[in-house]
Amino acid sequence: MQISEDALKQAYRQMKTIRMFEERLHDEIMTGEIAGFTHLYAGQEAVAVGVCEHLDYNDTIASTHRGHGHCIAKGCDVRGMMLEIYGRADGICKGKGGSMHIADIEKGMLGANGIVGGGPPIVVGAALAAKLYGDGRLAVAFSGDGACNQGTTFEAMNLAVVTNAPAIFAFENNHYSEHTGVAYAVGSKDIASRAESFGMKAWRVDGCDFFKVYETMGEVVDHVRAGKGPAAVEFDTERFFGHFEGDPQNYRGEGEIARLREERDSIEIFREHAAKNKLVSKKDLDAIDKEVSDLIDKSVEESRAAAPPTAEDVLTDVYIDYI
Amino acid sequence: MAELMLREAILQTLFAEMERDENVVVLGEDIVGGMGTEGGPEAIGGIWGTSTGLYDKFGGDRVIDTPISESAIIGAAGGLGLTGKRPVAEIMFADFLGVCMDQIWNQMAKFRYMFGGKTECPAVVRMIYGAGLNAAAQHSQAPHGILTSMPGLKIVMPSTPADAKGLLTTAIRDQDPVIFLEHKALYAEKGEVPEGEYTIPFGHARLAHAGEDVTIVAAGLMVKFATKAAQGLAEQGIGCDVIDLRTTSPLDEEAILDSVENTGRLVVVDESPPRCGLATDIVSLVTNKAYASLKAPPEMVTSPHTPVPFARELEKAYLPSPGKIADAVQRTLAWK
Amino acid sequence: MKNIKAFTMPKWGIEMQEGTISEWVVKEGQSFKKGEIIALIETDKISNEVEAEFDGVLRKIVTPSGQTEPVGALLGVFGDTDVPDGEIETFAQSFEAADTGTAVGRNSDSAAPAPVETSVAEAPAPSAPAISDTSFDNLNISPKARELAIELQVDATQISGSGRNGRITYQDVHQASRPDAAVDLGGALPVPADDESIFASPLAKRLAAMNGIDLKGVTGAGARGRSRKEDVLALLPDAGARPQASLAENADNTPQIVEMDKIRKVIAKRLTEAKSTIPHFYIRSDFDVENLLEFRRIGNKVLSTKASLNDYLVKAVGRALVEHPDVNVQVHDDKIHYYPHANVGVAIAAKSGLITPVVKNVDLMDISDISRATTQLIKKANTGKLGFADLEGGTLTISNLGMMGVDQFDAIINPPQGSILAIGGISRVMTEMEDGSGEFRSKLSVAMSCDHRAIDGAAGAKFMATLKSMIEDPELFF
């Protein structure tokens, strides 16, 4: 499908930002300076970006615990995100949410979620609101092959169908739900068929190829914006790091990660496709690489030096009016 | 003024608020009733009679009858709230809190805090609770204790039709998530309800009965029992302050302390089991901040540490009663 | 790779606080390539290889293998070969580990908090300006607390309130008005090594350990046979004696010396004077109050005020005094003041001390009036609002200690009054009735103290007889 060079460069920038953000975090987390749990999205960039490039700020998304990628793809401030992950007072959630609860409502990002399956019900609500606003906006719930087994996901799909809500259920099948393989945990042959049996149209696509994702999502988004009901998409994708940082990944096969990075790297696949079809020059892509690298470096530097929240901040923002 | 049943006051308020603000959306199981049947929509109008006629007036986009999916319903309320709507979701029996606890506890209650104060979720979750109608263990519980302990929520328990109207109006207009608990045995209770719209602020208790000798604290149905007990005790020359909390979170701490500082005696009535509940919360507050005023150890009149039993005699033994409350009052007066 | 880079103890997972290098695979001075293993590190949960993230040279090993270090600590220094040794050394020396602690880990608060500072002010010295009704008008304070502060003359503006938003409670004022507590600390005790085969409460185990008692095989009287403190105490060789002896030996019984306040000093002076200058004599009697109690019960149902037993006594005394003008007197040196009407004092135990305001012209009041008057006086006494007019002009005071469980007592006369009535408790006594049968009747103990300078024995006795007949047959005095 047609996509302008500028749009392609923007998409690449987003994907590269996600990749470098996550890879840098992987290193920094080892130093122990970042508290708590972090779950990295590296390897799945094509999905987040391929979906979000069809959305604007009126559309909303809800994410999983592996939410940095969706957050960046939806347009959230990278610097603010880094500060948040470092637990600083100027983070986009004032240091109160952290990696697992990272959000920015103004960009239509309804939050990463620490509860598997917590997102889909919220997205149905956002979709119902979208229906009432009546301007074609929609809501996307990102889930993994883990959440596709949660009752809340099923309830949400059914409710979306019976209320004809403009919701998209995006299932990123990276083949592992925590430390268990999808061959064991998902009883049906795939995930998309589950959505279909709930009564909605479902698509399947290779999640490591931005161009395929973008094209498919064009159809999906058109379908939903036209009021034809909710939709589901199953993306076949890979995650390069562990379930959480610190996960020794003993469940991986011999040389599996090396092979994935070799054969299923969405950044490389993008570059190859762009080069083969002369869509964007290598020079331009390299320049974007440098800009992104600088941005990430700067964000990390700033975050390490930034001030943390104070003890008084514990008590604020529980209620809007305190009595 | 009109004399209304509590359920009528609720219905009236929903009509008024939906009319006033087009962003108010109502959702729940069978709130319309009859969807997808030959009998057609509005065959029931809500099993409690608190949503009759809403669908006809406001249509299916704002009055959403749902399948039996509490997680999805409450989660949707959260999502609607985050994206600019004012949802009023109903949980048919408060006991079903079990199947949607995550969406209340981990999602709705915590959005604002986790997201650094940058979001608002003005959702109201109405739950029908309480024992007394032989609905047995899984349809009779009172979850206000558990819910009050969750930071981020406001918990409302009206005891009269007039209060129900004013408090529900406030709840729908409040920007924070509110849990609105309606006692099934109070639905047919009649009372004078002022005409026109009015709000009752949260954290503002009502003095249902006044006296100098003992303070009785109660909420919901228990206010009715406490008031009855107080009236009986008045004939014996014993004066009781009956404090109707109206909201357990925020709590009108001052009303409780002022009364106990005057009477020196406290009885708390709660229809939940005794461990880690509303009664222990109030008693510990008073013991900590008004120890110097106490003339006797505080008394709690609660249900026992059991599920709600079925048989009439058993449920009667389970619930507090005016007699049990009066006995507790006498115990505080007998302290040497 | 950058010129110099720190190799720190990695954080693997949220729980990891420290690790141990089990082996340095790359040796000091050796170079390595990305993907090669640099070292093996062990934690209490896992053992893992540290893979190189880039090509580089291990210039210095800071932490040898076998040593345990916290997360974030410097293990080694990577650097290009052309970086001088001196710089590597400086880097290592000046390296500061980042804060990697958690709220419950190494960097949490230390164990012993500073002792609690009482942030409330002491009660002001007598010379401070008087605290009035309006002193706390704009203060966030509860009504009862305000009343107490005014009554006790406590400067509530100095109190940090414990109520919500800093509201001052009655309890805050109460605490602020009291002197510091003299706490007798018992100190920490050693916890005995726990033996799960012995089923005893923690306290029982500790007591047993302290006293060398073996609880093996002992079945206590607690739930499910658990041994409790009482069971251990029963097992002690001289059961009861030894623990008490050591308690008595170790207790510090130094008194706390408190100077009397103004009001108490006055009371002390007056009573000393009364007891030493007035020749007291005593007349005691038991009044049958069975009828009076019933009369009161009915009366309260009918009347608007809830009259107390004491109110009825006041009324009876008023009538009796008027019938015995030689008892209705005040004594001033060698002058006797005879009063036409009865002014009866009622003794009230206000918070500041005993005070005896007077109900005037009681003989002209009906029972509801008296009840209202005494209630008023009690209120005024408790809020410190009694004036001189309230306190003077009485000829007899009624002091009632019956509700405190006292059988009988003798009171000291309040000069210049002529007498005082001490009311004790009501007891149920088997009494012989007119028809010879026996019945339990409520008897009220009454003791009158008279000033013998003005009132003779006979006069006092006749007064008591009149009073007794009025009390025992209440309709007589209405």
Question: pLDDT tens digit string along C407-432?
Answer: 889 999 988 899 999 999 888 889 89
Q: What's the mean pLDDT in A11-40? A: 94
| Closest residue in A to B59 (Cα–Cα) | A132
User: Which other chains touch chain C, taking contact as 3+ CB pairs less than 8 Å apart?
Assistant: A, B
Distance from CA of A322 to the nearest CA of B (A): 8
Task: Judge if B267 and B173 occupy the same domain.
Answer: no
Minimal CA–CA distance to A97: which of A109, A108, A84? A84
Q: Quick one: pLDDT at residue C118?
A: 47
Which is nearest to A164 in space by CA: A232, A119, A228? A228
Question: CB–CB of A125 and B79 under 8 A?
Answer: yes
B76: in domain: yes
Residue C123's pLDDT is 45
CA-nearest residue to A157 within chain B is B72
- Structure letter (DSSP) for residue B150: S
Residue to mutate among B207, B215, B254, B256, with most C CBs inside 10 A, is B254
The set of residues, in sequence order, having a beta carbon less than 8 Å from that of B249 and lying 6+ positions away, is: B147, B148, B153, B154, B155
Best residue in C12, C69, C102 to probe A by mutation, most A CBs within 10 Å? C12
Q: Is C281 on the interface with B (CB under 8 A)?
A: no
Residues of chain A found within 8 Å of residue C100, distances taken between Cβ atoms: 31-33
**Would you call C142 and B261 a contact, using CB atoms and an 8 Å cutoff?**
yes
Q: Among B193, B225, B252, where does a domain finish?
A: B193
At residue C117, does pLDDT exceed 60? no
Closest chain B residue to the Cα of C164, Cα to Cα: B253
Return the pLDDT at A227. 96
Lookup: tokens for C84: 């001088």
Q: What is the CATH number of the domain that holds B229?
A: 3.40.50.920
Cβ distance C13 to A35 less than 8 Å, yes or no, reads no
Whether residues A125 and B77 touch (CB distance < 8 A) is answered with: yes
Are B179 and B223 contained in the same domain? no
**Band (A31; pLDDT cuts 50, 70, 90):** confident
Among the listed residues C174, C332, C341, C452, the single catalytic one is C452
For the stretch C215-249, pLDDT in tens is: 888 888 888 888 888 888 888 887 555 555 566 77
B202 touches chain A (CB under 8 A): yes
Is A247 in Cβ contact with C8 (below 8 Å)?
Answer: no
Q: Are residues B169 and B244 in the same domain?
A: no
Torsion angle in degrees (nearest 10) through CA of A314, A320, A321, A322: -20
* Percent residues over pLDDT 70 in chain A: 99
B184 and B223 fall within a common domain: no
Same domain, B186 and B240: no
pLDDT at C119: 44
C-alpha to C-alpha distance for C306 and C300, rounded to whole angstroms: 5
**Does B250 sit behind a cis peptide bond, omega within 30 degrees of 0 on the bond before it?**
yes
Res A64 pLDDT > 70: yes
For the annotated catalytic residues of B, the residue numbers are 139
Q: Are A299 and A79 in contact (CB under 8 A)?
A: yes
Which residue is closest to B104 within chain A, CA to CA?
A118
Q: Find residues 24-53 of chain B whose CB sits inside 8 Å of chain A.
A: 25, 27
pLDDT the model gives residue A177: 87
Same domain as B85, residue B218? no
Overall domain count for chain B: 2
Q: Convert the pLDDT of each residue in C325-363 to its tens digit.
A: 999 999 998 899 999 999 999 998 877 777 889 999 999
Q: Which residues of C touch B254 (CB under 8 A)?
A: 142, 163-164, 167
Are A35 and C102 an interchain contact pair (Cβ–Cβ within 8 Å)? yes
pLDDT(A322) > 90? no
Mean local confidence (pLDDT), A246-252: 85
Residue B107 gets which letter from DSSP?
I
* Amino acid at position B14, single letter: L
Verify whether the Cβ–Cβ distance A159 to B176 is below 8 Å: no
State the smallest CA–CA distance between residue C4 and chain B in angstroms: 38
Q: What is the structure's pLDDT at C265? A: 79
Residue B125 lies in a domain: yes
Q: Are B275 and B214 contained in the same domain?
A: yes
A27 interfaces chain C, CB cutoff of 8 Å: yes
Q: What is the mean pLDDT of residues C180-208?
A: 78
Tell me the C-alpha distance between C399 and C420, whole Å: 7
Domain boundary among B124, B158, B193: B193
List the single residue in B with minimal CA-CA distance to A113.
Answer: B107
Instruction: Please tell me if residue B237 touches chain C, with a CB cutoff of 8 Å.
Output: yes
Please list the pLDDT of chain B residue by residue as tens digits (336 residues).
Answer: 899 999 999 999 999 999 999 999 999 999 998 888 887 787 677 889 999 999 999 999 999 999 999 999 999 999 999 999 999 999 999 999 999 999 999 999 999 999 999 999 999 999 999 999 999 999 999 999 999 999 999 999 999 999 999 999 999 999 999 999 999 999 999 999 999 999 999 999 999 999 999 999 999 999 999 999 999 999 999 999 999 999 999 999 999 999 999 999 999 999 999 999 999 999 999 999 999 999 999 999 999 999 999 999 999 999 999 999 999 999 999 998
Q: Quick one: tokens of C444?
A: 């009220």
Cis amide linkage into residue C416, ω under 30° from 0: yes
CA of C308, closest CA in chain B: separation in Å? 12
Residue B198 lies in a domain: no
B224 CB contacts (<8 Å, ≥6 apart)?
B159, B186, B189
Residue C157: Cβ within 10 Å count: 14
All residues of chain B having their beta carbon less than 8 Å from the beta carbon of residue A159 are 66-67, 69, 72-73, 76
Give the pairing type, strands C68-70 and C18-24.
Answer: antiparallel
For residues B89 and B144, membership in a common domain is answered with: yes
Those of residues 111-140 in B touching chain A at CB distance below 8 A are 111-120
Confidence check: pLDDT of A108 > 90? yes
Same domain for B67 and B172? Answer: yes
Check whether residue B118 and residue B217 sit in a common domain: no
Whole-number Å distance between alpha carbons of A83 and A87: 6
Beta-carbon neighbour count of residue C210 at 10 Å?
13
Residues in chain B: 336
- Asked if pLDDT for residue C2 goes beyond 60, the answer is no
Q: How far apart are CA C360 and CA C371, in angstroms?
A: 13
What is the per-residue pLDDT across C64-75, written as a single tens digit (0 to 9) for each?
Answer: 999 999 988 999
* DSSP reduced 3-state for A45: helix
Which residue among B163, B193, B223 closes a domain? B193
Q: In this complex, do C102 and A31 lie within 8 Å of one another by their Cβ atoms? A: no
- Pairwise CB contact (< 8 Å): C10 & A27: no
CATH number at B183 reads 3.40.50.970
Domain assignment of residue B234, given as a range: 206-334
Would the pLDDT of C121 be above 70? Answer: no
Q: List Cα–Cα distances, A155 to A161, B69, C5, C158, in angstroms.
A: 10, 6, 51, 59
pLDDT single digits (tens) A269-293: 999 999 999 999 999 999 999 999 9
Number of helices (H) and strands (E), helices first, in chain B? 12, 14
- Hey, are the CB atoms on C164 and B254 less than 8 Å from each other? yes
3-state helix, strand, coil in chain C (%, to 5): 30, 20, 45
Contact A159 B76 (CB under 8 A): yes
CA C250 from centre of chain? 24
B185 and B261 housed in the same domain: no
pLDDT on residue A149 = 93
Tokens representing residue C205 in the block? 């185990």
- Distance separating alpha carbons of residues A125 and A130, to the nearest angstrom: 9
- pLDDT for C201 equals 84
Provide the number of CB pairs (under 8 Å) joining chain A to chain B. 165
C114, pLDDT greater than 70: no
Do the Cβ atoms of B141 and B129 come closer than 8 Å?
yes
* CB within 8 Å: C53 and A33: no
Q: How many CB pairs under 8 A join A and C?
A: 38
pLDDT of residue C477: 62
C169 shares contact with chain B (CB less than 8 Å): yes
Of C164, C175, C306, Cβ closest to residue B292: C175
Cβ-based contacts of C142 with chain B (< 8 Å): 254, 257-258, 261
How does strand B24-29 pair with strand B86-91? parallel
pLDDT at A12 over 60: yes
Indicate the pLDDT class of residue A130, thresholds 50, 70 and 90: very high
Are C449 and C282 in contact by the 8 Å Cβ rule? The answer is yes
Q: Is residue B298 part of a domain?
A: yes
Of B253, B262, B291, the CB nearest to C171: B291
Mean pLDDT of all residues belonging to chain A:
94
The rounded distance, in Å, linking the Cα atoms of A136 and C56 is 55
Whether residue B233 contacts residue B329, with contact meaning beta carbons closer than 8 Å, is answered with yes
Put simply, the answer to whether C8 touches A35 (Cβ < 8 Å) is: no
Specify whether B111 is located in the same domain as B16.
yes
Which chain A residue lies closest to C17 (C-alpha atoms)?
A32
Query: b/e map of C314-347 (b: 16 or more CB within 10 Å)?
Result: bbbbbbbbbbbebbbbbbeeeebeebeebbbbbb
Please report the pLDDT score of residue B268 as a whole number: 98
Q: Is C452 a catalytic residue?
A: yes
Task: Tell me: pLDDT of C181 over 50.
Answer: yes
**Residue B297 within any structural domain of the chain:** yes
DSSP one-letter code for B192: E
Question: Hey, are the CB atoms on B261 and C167 less than 8 Å from each other?
Answer: no
- Nearest by CB to A30, which of C10, C46, C99? C10
Mind listing the domains of chain C with CATH numbers? 4-135 (2.40.50.100), 183-257 (no CATH), 262-477 (3.30.559.10)
Question: CB atoms < 10 A from the CB of B292, how many?
Answer: 18
